[in-house]
Chains A and B, each alone.
Chain A
Amino acid sequence: MCSLALFPAPLACGQTTLCESNNELLSGTATDHRLKQDSSPLSLYFPRESLKLHCRTESSSKAAFLDHSETLWMRSAAAWRDGGLTGLLNEITNSNTEVPKWLSVSSGFTLALLRWFSSFHGSLFPHLTMSSENMLAEFSQVLNWSDCVVRAFAWHPHADKFAVALLDDSIKIYNPKSATTPTLKHRLQRSVAAVQWKPMCASALAVACQNCLLVWHVDPCSLSTRPSSGCAQVLSNPGHSPVTSIAWSPSGSLLVSASPMDTAMMVWDVASESCVPLQRVGGGGVTFLSWSPDSSHVLASTPSALFRVWETRTWTCERWPCVKGRCQSGCWSPDGSRLLFTVQGEMVIYVLTFGDTPGPQAAAVVADLSETTFNTADGDIIVGGEIHSLSWDPTGERLAVLLEGFTECFVRFSVSSGFVQGEPGAEPRMMQFHPNFQHGALLTVCWSSGRITHVPFYFLGAGVPHFGLSGSPSLPRPQERPADFANQSLFTELIS
């Protein structure tokens, strides 16, 4: 088992991690770093002040208009349209001077009964009582989502470009080879929780929003900086909001989406805008999805202490109850044979191994990240804690772990380990590996300051030779080397 005690001490204050070379993390002072980073076109900085935020929500615009008294029928119809049954009952109960007494009393009674029932339901699944913003913040893979300037980030799986979702609900697409950076805005694009590019496609970008899913078709050759909202497909299903996680199948044919409010996970056929709900009641919702790179399994975690691993051929699932808390994050090895996951309330990383015909029996602990004290020149530094998200690089040699409540993002190597540190005061909020970096792995980290930096790890892949054919990615090769990883032991299993 791996533990933080094996790690070299974190960098001194003011130092920033630049890259990895010869199995060592090289660092520099913050000013060097900034100079170097600013020169590279992909490093971005979004100061909070530069974003125009929505100063008011849509419902508050009511105050700007004169109060207008409508008939009861009109108000009831509006309440039914806006708030459904509860809205209608509420309206009838409130206007008790206009309706017969028995009607207002009975609707008040029904309303109380409904509320009692929903509170009972909510006591079973406490997350159902949250507002959708809080729910997104709670279940997002981004640390402290509601306060984050960069809310979502996604590299394109094949081409060198990425999408960044910002606090002001816009999405920008950066491509070093083109001068235009399209900005995507849509009426329904609010509270973006996740973005992901469609594999085997140059243009489609799926966006998980508060009330729906959007699939943008951004023509890579187009010179337009503001694609119209006609370029976006809206996928929505009643009851399926807010959407907290999305995952494309690696073959690019299907899209799955999850919402903590909906016990069904939706499998979308995006082109025909139709969906198949995969309903399993236990757990009370689905929070996080991750599709294995060989497209054979999908991890679906729920808000309860339970997660499922779906098999994608006939869409059956295995239930994996956890003891302590819900499954917070997970990631797959590049060949899809191993699943690493973390559980809320525990400071360890578990592994499940697939590939055998009967499937795994129990999860094994591969890394322990409980708090460890390092003696450095600046005094003792305590590092460790709960894990917020995991990311495994496409060569399978580097694993990045984002810890909750700490200012470092830490990376475990197969040979050595280390911490990646940003400039002083900046906390990492999310991270993602570049899907096809030629010289090793490239970790992109979004910091709380609004900066996006890229930390390259230069190494030669030992386990899996590079299949990348001069620029073409080596990503989905489901059939190529299925036995590679399954027969290898993880580094941590070797040293335990």
Chain B
Amino acid sequence: MFSTEQSCWFIRKVVCWRAVASIAWAVLLLLPITAVFVILSRFSLLHPIQTFSECLSFLTCASAIFSLILMCGVIIMVGFLNLEYYTVIPTIACSKIALLGQLLHPRQFVNSLAHCIMGIIVAWCCAVTLGGRYETIGYPCTQGDGTDSSPQMCLNEYHLILLLAGAFVGFSHSLLAVISNINYVSFHTVQQYKYLRFKGSLPFVVKCSAAQALYSVRNYIVVYFFLGYIPKAWICKTLNLHLNSSVHPLDSIAGLLDLSLLYHQWISASFLLFTWNITLLLFRIFVTEVYSFPVQSSFTEDAHQCLPKVLTDKQPMILKFLALQDVALLSQHSPSRRCEVFSLSQPGGHPHNWNAISKECLSLLADLTQRLVAYHDTVATNGRAKSLSTGSERKTSSETSFTSATEDLMSPRPTLLLRTPASVFARFVVGTPHSPLTAPFTPDLDSPFASPALRRLTAPLDQCSPWFGTVQSPHIMRRAPKLWSTSTDSQVNGSPPASPASVPSPKQEPFKPSRLALFLRNRKEQLPEASSQALFADSQAHIWALEGLSYLVQASFSEDQFGVIQTTLPSILGCMLILQEAVDRHFKLPHASSKPVRSASGMGDSTYKTLRFALRATLKTAIYRITTTFGNHLNAVQMSAEHRKRLQQFLEYKE
């Protein structure tokens, strides 16, 4: 209860105000962006001066001001959605099924719907701005070819196509946001002022908005060409409008190849995406700004805002991240604040500040070590990583049970598949009492697709699944969701796709539905690297913990007057060396050390894909920082022989 109050404190006083400031800036920037959009959309090469005077007169008229107010509303809404959906730890879908689950999640559905509506509103504003043939949805026309034609309202398809384009672009933007993790807010290693960061990323935002708009419009045109008649008929029916048969319909090749129409669609989509992306960019810049927490406070009522207390909070994550970032920065740059960390409490003489900071950092690192060890164990028991060396013993241990079946499924040797063909689908046999379809979903309890009901449904299945028993360490049970989804994936990937064709047919009949399940299963295997990414998803925190600890230890060599650090130095070194060992082992796995494909396009931040490499480099640097500072004095530190051997490698610069 107490901790929630604290988190409320931070969210209320800092994060919300930062979000409000970013939205305010986005709204302020809307005016120049709109002006540029108006000029670009109405520009004619032959009458430049006339264009400018037209634009100026348009910008002062009532409809423009009304659309500007609408746009402001949209920006505020986008900013609110950013605040609502942002995360500092990315959700990494370990399989395509999980990704699909994310896309079909109700929350995402609401998000997409909101984006669709906002897209329509922005497109309407664009239509008003563009003027001319786009301005209204209906226009008076005379239907029929005879003299009996009466004036009636006809549908203006140009207006409709623009509105639908807005909806489509908004929708595809929200889908792409899920795929490219656009909600993920990363922290920069280079601390620049907000204005300079904004200025630096502005060209990139322009470029990626324009490119994304181009692709969206291309897709939209294809969709409209095939399905355009549906919304057209629906709008005509609901608004009681008529189709003007004398005008060429737009959902034809000739109608869509109108260059001016394409240009206007593209520039409207660019405008829409640009305003949204700018809002997102500003939000990211504001929310990741460094926050300086006091190390200690002389007033007890402020104690919950101090660094040692804030670090230990579990929620909200942004608070923890900013606190760790502050630790890393103060340890590098600010001698006076370091002095406070090394200080002793006045009565008693306890180094409370240092104890709290080091304890939290060490527990973070230990947690990561445990996670890595557990991950490695599951991989090893599945025999994927070291199948050839442990193959014989596995064969003896798993005779005819389900275990052999599941393991063989994971094994890279297809001959084993043929050895026990009947049991290949053992998993699904177990699954049949419930539903064959749930089987491939079971490991994805983490994914939003898995509702609580589904979890309850799948729980007994997991219990009786033989594979589960092999990894049933208390640690994995504790942090089940994430590891569960990742580990199952990794154990499957790399194995040959267990295609139904390779299995002898007679045994297959009873399991007809499992063909679909198998198909889904194969889809699950296609993101091999994601499990490793997911394992290191929150490693930014570990990186800061390592930096903070190592810089503080380095500074303690000359600044620590009371020897505060000395008592914890053995545990710090031990923790880092164990982690180093675990990380080294992890990087021996084939998929862990492969570099992700660099995809720089889009607003999605792909920093999380390389966090494991950053962690590995930071860890090594941190150990070297301590060894170079203390040198042979480290021989006096108590540690196990194995660690000493390892440390000697570092002292001799042989790592």
Contacts and interface: CB of A to CB of B under 8 A. Distances in A.
A72 interface: no
A475 B191 contact: no
A385 B628 CA distance: 40
Given A472-B632, A479-B558, A314 B192 contact: yes
Interface stretch (A10-18, A112-120, A265-273): A265-273
Contacts of B190: 254, 267, 276, 278, 315
B653 A272 contact: no
A472 B650 CA distance: 11
Interface string B610-652: 1101101110110011011111110000000000000000011
A26 to B, nearest CB: 32
Contact of B332 (A221, A251, A471): A251
Given A220-B653, A272-B611, A200 B624 contact: yes
A468 B631 CA distance: 8
Interface string A226-265: 0000000000000000000000000111100000000000
Given A220-B654, A314-B191, A477-B558, A274 B616 contact: no
Contacts of A315: 190-192, 196
A122 interface: no
A273 B610 contact: yes
A159 interface: yes
A277 interface: yes
Nearest to B199: A279
Given A202-B653, A473-B628, A272 B610 contact: yes
Contacts of A479: 335, 338, 554-555, 558-559
A272 B607 contact: yes
A480 interface: yes
Contacts of B554: 479
A274 B618 CA distance: 15
A103 interface: no
A470 interface: yes
A277 B200 contact: yes
A344 to B, nearest CB: 30
Contacts of B595: 273
A472 B631 contact: yes
A158 interface: yes
Contacts of A277: 200
Interface string B529-567: 000000000000000000100010011011100000000
A357 B628 CA distance: 30
Contacts of B559: 479
B627 A472 contact: yes
Interface centre among B332, B630, B653 (most CB of A within 10 A): B653
A271 B617 contact: yes
What size tier do the contact residues of chain A reach?
A: 35 or more
Contacts of A313: 191, 333
A481 B558 CA distance: 9
A100 B551 CA distance: 67
Contacts of A220: 653-655
B614 A469 contact: no
A189 B95 CA distance: 38
B598 A158 contact: no
A277 B595 CA distance: 22
A471 B614 contact: no
B189 interface: yes
Contacts of B630: 469, 472
Contact of B628 (A200, A274, A278): A200
Contacts of A225: none
B188 interface: yes
If over half of B's interface residues share one DSSP class (helix, strand or loop), that class is named, otherwise mixed; here it is: helix
Contact of B200 (A276, A470, A477): A276
Interface string B321-332: 000000000001
B313 to A, nearest CB: 27
Interface string B554-589: 110111000000000000000000000000000000
Nearest to B335: A479
Given A271-B616, A479-B555, A480-B558, A200 B625 contact: yes
Contact of B618 (A253, A267, A279, A316): A253
Given A251-B332, A252-B621, A469-B633, A202 B655 contact: yes
B476 to A, nearest CB: 28
Interface string B320-363: 00000000000011010010000000000000000000000000
Interface in B43-89: none
Interface in A198-214: 200-203
Contacts of B632: 469-472
Interface string A272-292: 111011110000000000000
Contacts of A271: 610, 613-614, 616-618
A343 to B, nearest CB: 28
Contacts of B651: 472
Interface in B596-612: 598, 607, 610-611
B215 interface: no
Contacts of A201: 617, 620-621, 624
Contacts of B196: 315-316
B193 interface: yes
A392 to B, nearest CB: 21
Contacts of B200: 276-279
A276 B188 contact: yes
Contacts of B653: 156, 158-159, 202, 220
Contacts of B191: 313-315
A470 B610 contact: no
A335 B333 CA distance: 15
Given A314-B192, A479-B335, A479-B555, A221 B628 contact: no
Nearest to B556: A479
Contacts of B547: 253
Given A252-B624, A470-B631, A274 B607 contact: yes
Given A220-B654, A251-B332, A469-B633, A475 B628 contact: yes
Contacts of A200: 620-621, 624-625, 628
B14 to A, nearest CB: 20
Interface in A455-496: 468-473, 475-477, 479-481
A314 B193 contact: yes
A202 B610 contact: no
Contacts of B652: 159
Nearest to A158: B653
Contacts of A272: 607, 610-611, 613-614
Given A271-B614, A313-B333, A471-B631, A251 B625 contact: yes
A265 to B, nearest CB: 11
Interface in A33-65: none
A344 B571 CA distance: 54
B614 A269 contact: yes
Interface in A150-176: 156, 158-159
Contacts of A477: 557-558, 629
Contacts of B614: 269, 271-272
A74 B559 CA distance: 67
Given A271-B617, A279-B200, A253 B189 contact: yes
A430 to B, nearest CB: 24
Residue from A220, A221, A269, A271 having most chain B Cβ neighbours under 10 A: A271
Nearest to B595: A273
B617 A472 contact: no
A178 to B, nearest CB: 10
Nearest to B608: A272
A270 B617 contact: yes
Interface in B380-439: none
Nearest to B627: A472
Given A267-B189, A472-B627, 9 more contacts: A156-B653, A158-B628, A220-B654, A251-B551, A271-B614, A273-B595, A313-B191, A314-B193, A471-B631
13 contacts: A156-B653, A158-B653, A202-B624, A220-B655, A271-B614, A273-B610, A278-B192, A314-B191, A316-B193, A471-B631, A472-B630, A475-B628, A479-B554
